[in-house]
Amino acid sequence: MNTLVFQLSKTAIQNLVEQLSAYQTSNNNPYVTFAAKHKNATFLAYTSGKVVIQGKGAQDLANNLKLEANPPKSTSSQNALKTDHNRSMIGTDEVGNGSYFGGLAVVASFVKPEDHNFLKSLGVDDSKKMTDQKIQAIAPLLEEKIPHQALLLSPQKYNQVVGKGLKHNAVSVKVALHNQAIFLLLQKGVQADNIVIDAFTSPRNYQKYVSKENNQVTQAITLEEKAEGNYLAVAVSSIIARAMFLENLKTLGEDVGFQLPSGASAKSDKVASQLLAAYGMESLAYTAKLHFANTQKAQALLKK
Rg of the chain over all Cα atoms, to the nearest angstrom: 19
Q: What would the pLDDT profile of 44-89 be if each residue is shown by its tens digit? A: 988 878 888 988 888 889 888 988 754 433 333 234 455 555 789 9
CATH topology (fold) of 89-251: Nucleotidyltransferase; domain 5 (3.30.420)
For the full predicted model, state whether its pTM sits above 0.85.
Answer: no
Q: What percent of the chain has a predicted confidence (pLDDT) above 70?
A: 93
Q: What would the pLDDT profile of 275-297 be if each residue is shown by its tens digit? A: 999 999 999 999 999 999 999 99
- Bridge partners of 168? 162
Residue 231 carries which DSSP code?
A: B
Q: Decide if pLDDT at 304 tops 90.
A: no
Question: What local confidence, expressed as pLDDT, does residue 71 receive?
Answer: 41
Per-domain residue ranges of the chain = 3-69, 89-251, 257-303
Q: Give the strands of the sheet with 222-224, arranged side by side.
A: 148-153, 104-111, 89-95, 194-198, 222-224
Instruction: Give the C-alpha separation, 301 to 59, whole Å.
Output: 32
Question: What local confidence, expressed as pLDDT, does residue 127 receive?
Answer: 74
Question: What local confidence, expressed as pLDDT, does residue 73 receive?
Answer: 38
Mean pLDDT of the chain: 89
Q: Report CA-CA distances (Å) from 152 to 36, 103, 209, 237.
A: 29, 7, 19, 13
Q: What would the pLDDT profile of 176-228 be if each residue is shown by its tens digit? A: 999 999 999 999 999 999 999 999 999 999 999 999 999 999 999 999 988 88
3-class state of residue 244 by DSSP: helix
Residue 115: CA count within 13 A, CB half-sphere: 22
Cβ atoms of 227 and 94 closer than 8 Å:
no
* Packed helices 266-279 and 232-256: angle between N→C axes, nearest 10 degrees: 40
3-class state of residue 270 by DSSP: helix
Question: If one looks up domain 3-69 in CATH, what number appears?
Answer: 3.30.310.10
- Bridge partners of 261? none
